[in-house]
Structure 1
Amino acid sequence: MAISATIITIEIRFEQDVVMTRQRARLIAELLGFDAQDQTRIATAVSEIARNAFQYAQGGRVEFRVEGESPQSLLICICDKGAGIANLNSILEGRYTSATGMGLGIIGSKRLMEWFEIESSSSHGTTVQMGKPLPKRALVVNGPRLAQIADELVQRSPSNPLEEIQQQNQELLRALAELQKREEALTQLNRELEDTNRGVVALYAELDEKADSLKRANELKTRFLSNMSHEFRTPLNSVISLSRMLLDRMDGELTPDQEKQVTFIRKAAEGLSELVNDLLDLAKVEAGKIVVQPDNFEVSELFGTLRGMLRPLLAHNSSIALVFEEPRDIPTLYTDEGKVAQILRNFISNALKFTPTGEVRVSAVRVGNTITFSVADTGIGIAAEDTERIFEEFVQVDSPLQRQVKGTGLGLPLSRKLAELLGGNVWVTGTIGVGSTFFASIPLVYSGSNQESPLPPVSWKLDPQRLPILVVEDNAETLFTYEKYFQGSIYQPFLARTLDEAEQALTLFTPTAIMLDILLEEQHTWGFIAELKGNQATQEIPILVVTVIDNEKQVRALGANAFLVKPVDRWSLLNQINTLIKRNTPQKLLLIDDDPASQYVLKQLLSDTDLNISEAFDGREGIDLAQIEKPDCIILDLSLPEMSGDKVLSLLKSDSKTNDIPVIINTSQSLETEEQKNLAQNTVAILSKETASQEIAIARVREALVKAGIALKACERGYV
């Protein structure tokens, strides 16, 4: 049970009352379990404010209270009936200078206490409230304990002013002794640092010598690779040409064994030729002999060229679809088209090699002054620990499929060097068994040219079917990643690269939640968070901080509602936003399916969630329940009696009562590509009832629920 009880009240009428107040403050702090240092801090803060009340208002009242349940706190209220403090704001900001020292006691007391509030006016005087939480080891203050403290205050009557001064002097002596110890420690540390600095200087000199040696060795390696690559090309081209002549029967027929042998020779020669070409390109880049030839070109034309160039790679495997998304709102690029094509060609050919079934999807979006290309596949995936290794020369990740598909291990390192040459960079994300996505961020305008590329205008066009999320982030790769994360979800991200853009957005619409980084390029968002939480119009908007520095305590102290450390995966991010928005409210799920077995299976997959699940066995019943119950999400089967699932979906989305409810399709039908596209316009996910395993089925259902805005507990989303 929470307690709120007064320990003692002291009237300040004479100067010796100030001394007595300090004595009482120290004694009360001791009885409540504070250590000696905190006792001195509390006593000093109380005496400074009490002295102000006596000096400027000719008196006042000091009240000591204990409040709270767990934890409990010591609160001190000091009030007077004086003329008030005219320059209070300047004093609190440290800008006021007084010949009498007024203001120093207020600032000092504020620093000594955990909480400090002051109100002052000419009509009501000044009231100061300050406090500290009781130590964790302290006894709980209840009725009997309060009586015990009161008895001790009576028994241990305050000493005279001279003894109080002696006590203060002893505290000062102890503080000076501690400072002397620290000074001696600092002197010793400085001597150690000087020795370390001398060692570091010597180490730098040695490192410079090693760096020069490595540079010379690298130049020798580059020259060797370049010369050897040229020397290898001529005999390899001869071997390839001669083997082709033999296979074309230009000098007569071959026996089956001879044809097989010559085919092996030609494939080996072509593989070696590919290795030589990659080595030569790497050597040229490292030697600085690659010339960038920028020109204007359209991404759509580049995609068309790549589509035609790579189509033959799919001839032997009809189970893979190569999809080029139509570029939207992307201006003309001014860079080296051939090198961009080479980067994407390496990405796509790798994706096709390591994707047994599924699709390889190529897309491009504009992020600030760059175009970020992505090549996503549904292949074998890449472990997190290998995402940097694969960009090292000759490195190939071991896997059963890798052993079947031979490569040089030079394509990805070359792609990174080419991207850096154009002023961009490359990176990859992936999950074993799920797939991977390779990214290349290329500037709109090659930095070696004189053309300028203006920042794109910011668009704040709201989609009425989605919830707006304001994202404050200045990193191009991160912005692109967030855009991908929100695709297909119920959220519409609005990307703000600066605080000015964020404030502009807030004048145009109220976001459902705000995501932000702490450190922007030339700004930080500490003040912005405090401003949002201090403004009545925005203080209820949930704030999620996603940053590279683990400073959660400071972030939450400013008012942020949640915190994640970069890098963050898609499902953790979406689920955190769902949790902030739902705020522990009960969540309802409606299943519309005429097959009791299917409904039973779905309920079993979701048995460890807190969802309230309703069931409907036909379309009309499902629509009625959706209108009455307003569920947070609907899982809909397409094969329903009397009214098809397509018709149910259409009616749900055309009704103002239900059009904002996210819908997940769960069907056993085999859908054509065009059908999937049409359904995807009004749904957050399309699931198949024909799933390989229960684990995969659970993962896919819960991923879809998170995209639909359902908040799952940490234990419910082990798949992410």
Structure 2
Amino acid sequence: MSMTGRGGGGDGVTAGAAGVPEPLLRLVLHTDQDVFVLRQRGREAAAAVGMEHQDQVRVATALSEIGRHAIGAVVTFAVEVSGRARLVIVVAADGIGISPPEGTAAAGRLMDEVHVERDRISLTRRLPAQVGPDRLAEARDTLGRSQPTTALDELSVQNRQLVAALEEVQAHRDELLTLNAELEDTNRGVMALYTQLSEELEQTNQGVVALYAELDERSAQLREANEAKSRFLANVSHELRAPVTAIIGLVRLLLDPRSEPLTAEQTHQLELVQGSAADLLARVNDLLDLAKAESNRIEPSWAPVDLAAVFGQLRGTLRPLAKPGVQLDVADPDAVDLVTDEVLLTQILRNLLTNALKFTDAGTVSMGALVLDGRLHIAVADTGIGIPFAEQRRVFEEFHQVRGAHQVGGTGLGLPYARRLATLLGGGLSMVSEPGEGSTFTLDLPLRPQPEDDGDLPHVPSVLVVDDEAAARQVLREHLTGIAGQVHEAADARAALAIASRERPSVIFLDLRMPDGDGGDLIARMAAVPQTAGIPVVVVTGADVTRVDGAAAVLAKSSLTRRLVADAVAQVIT
């Protein structure tokens, strides 16, 4: 085997040529024994340029893998210093790249890069640090003085390296076993913690389920209490309105000029009675309106609305209510294509304007409208006393009145009722207030009613409608479109019993008052017949009742809607 410490011409690399690093060492592999020398010299070259021990072994092993199948090749070692310093080893021989040596793949796993060309194979490995000219000169000098050892010596070195590698593998194995043991202990701890957390979570879930059950029960109680309150308000209001109306009528008769003359004091007292009765009647009407809204007995009547006409009417009727020094400014709205319930809209705006005029002693009460993002916004603003921050969150509560020196009489139902009406119209009512500076209430409405979503409607195969009035049956038939696959009709109890026995409908909608018998009697008769027993019955009546024995639900004819019908069907079939 021949070798030199500097570049020659054997591998085509010229020492000092432009762009070509000057070789540290060049070897020629003549025999198989030279492979051992190549391994030794590779290790020495790697050490001379500052590689660590493991990288030295990598370089030596890669060269051994390629050299065993590259006899006759010229091997050149050089350092490339442009950019990141690298050790470059070129194994050159005619046609060596056409059929690369078997060890090329193994060398590729040991080195950073392996490039195979027709007449050469290049191997590169990054150096841990830059290498200057002095270090390269020293490396060449060291390699030039070094003498090759025998194959046996190199084999002995290789064995020592193998033993060291095995010891290192054993140390890693022992460390891995220790880590596995620690991991097993950790896993046992994690499993114990997981079991504990699972038990605690199960207990928590049981508590949550119990809490939800209690909440459902409380919600049902609240609904019942709210319904009872609404019925109480409606009944009491009905009972109060009749005598109050009678009092007002009697006072009018007494004050009539055609009646017997009264003294000035009597006239004054009767006028006070008349005013108090009128106030009481207004409060009773507020209770009735609220009870209707809460029980969903108000059904909007959708129609095109002339907003300018509504504003003009309110301007004219409410201007006399303004106190001296207060200006009522109702701006004419722009033309807008609005479809809503004119009566309910007027009630909301009259309520807001009346409220603003009541609490404004000086300045302005204004109302204006604009369309934004396809919705109508009507703002009622005043320069009145404003609402204290502590009271603002409660202004929409029923029967709540703002406390303070400016507190005036009333039921505290105006704003809650206005908000409920706004909700019925598909909108909302909001408020912004600054104490001492005034308040602004904004009504937000859709320009036209939102279409009902039929996607969540229940579906049943058939329904029987029992009512002696053809118009009432037609209304129910329309409401049941898309809910019932087939709608049967009966005008009397006898026909109803026959159809129910034959068709066995999913639900029966039944009127209470019919010429040939009471609806309650028909319910009892159907319950006694096996073919009709168990068919749910929904009573639809004009009578003022909320419960009927044997009926699953009761609906009022005066407030019947498609949504109420759908909810009743969903309730009785679940």
Q: Higher RCO, 1 or 2 (CA under 8 Å, sep at least 6)? A: 2
Greater Rg over alpha carbons, structure:
2
TM range (shorter): 0.3 to 0.5
